[in-house]
Amino acid sequence: MRIQLFGTCLIDTMFPETGEATVRLLRHFGVEIGYPDGQTCCGKPADSGGYSRESKKAAEHFISVFDRTEGPIIIPSGSCASMVKNHYPELFKDDERMRQKAEAIAGRTHELSQFLVHVLKVHEAGLSGTGRITYHASCQLTRELGVLEEPMLLLQSLNGAEFVDLPHSDRCCGFGGIFMAKLPEVSMALADEKVDTILSTGADTVTGCDHGCLMNIADAVKRRGSAVRVKHIAAVLAEGLK
Partner 1 sequence: MNHSTSSIPFRENAVKALSNSALRGAMRNATETFAIKRADAVAALPLEELREEASELRLHVLNNLSEYVDRFEMNAVRAGAKVHRAKDSEAARGIIASILQDHGIGRVVKSKSMVSEEIHLNDYLQEVGITVVETDLGEYIIQIAGEGPSHIIVPAIHKDRRQVGQLFAEKLGCEYSDDPAVLTGVAKKILREEFLSAKAGISGANFAVAESGSIVLFTNEGNGRMCTSLPPLHIAVLSIEKIIPSLADLPKFIRLLPRSATGQTITSYLSVLTGSRKPGESTGAQEMHIVLLDNGRSELVSGEYREMFKCIRCGACLNACPVYRVVGGHAYGSTYPGPMGIVLTALLEGMERAKSLLDATTLCGACGDVCPVKVPLPRLLRLLRERRVEQGLTPRLEQNAMAGFGRVVEKPFLFHLGQIAGHVFWPAVKKFGPGDAVGRMPRPVSRTFRERFA
* Residues binding partner 1 (CB under 8 A): 7, 9, 11-16, 18-20, 23, 35, 37-41, 43, 45-54, 57-58, 60-61, 139-140, 143-144, 170-172, 174-190, 193, 215-216, 219
Closer CB to partner 1, 27 or 121, in the complex: 27
**Angle at the Cα of 240 (from 192 to 125), degrees rounded to 5?**
110
Pairing of strands 73-75, 162-164: unpaired
Q: What are phi and psi of 146, to 5 degrees?
A: 65, 30
Q: What are phi and psi of 118, to 5 degrees?
A: -75, -35
In the bound complex, what is the minimum distance in angstroms from residue 26's beta carbon to partner 1?
A: 12
In the bound complex, what is the minimum distance in angstroms from residue 123's beta carbon to partner 1?
A: 26
In the bound complex, what is the minimum distance in angstroms from residue 139's beta carbon to partner 1?
A: 4
Closer CB to partner 1, 129 or 212, in the complex: 212
In the bound complex, what is the minimum distance in angstroms from residue 40's beta carbon to partner 1?
A: 4
In the bound complex, what is the minimum distance in angstroms from residue 14's beta carbon to partner 1?
A: 5
Closest CA to 171 of 205, 202, 127, 208: 208
Q: In 16-83, which ranges are E strands? A: 32-34, 73-75
Closer CB to partner 1, 33 or 119, in the complex: 33
Instruction: Give the DSSP letter string of 196-239.
Output: HHHHHTT-SEEEES-HHHHHHHHHHHHHHT---EEEEHHHHHHH
In the bound complex, what is the minimum distance in angstroms from residue 29's beta carbon to partner 1?
A: 18
Closer CB to partner 1, 105 or 161, in the complex: 105
User: What separation in angstroms does the CA of 222 have from each of 4, 109, 138?
Assistant: 34, 34, 20
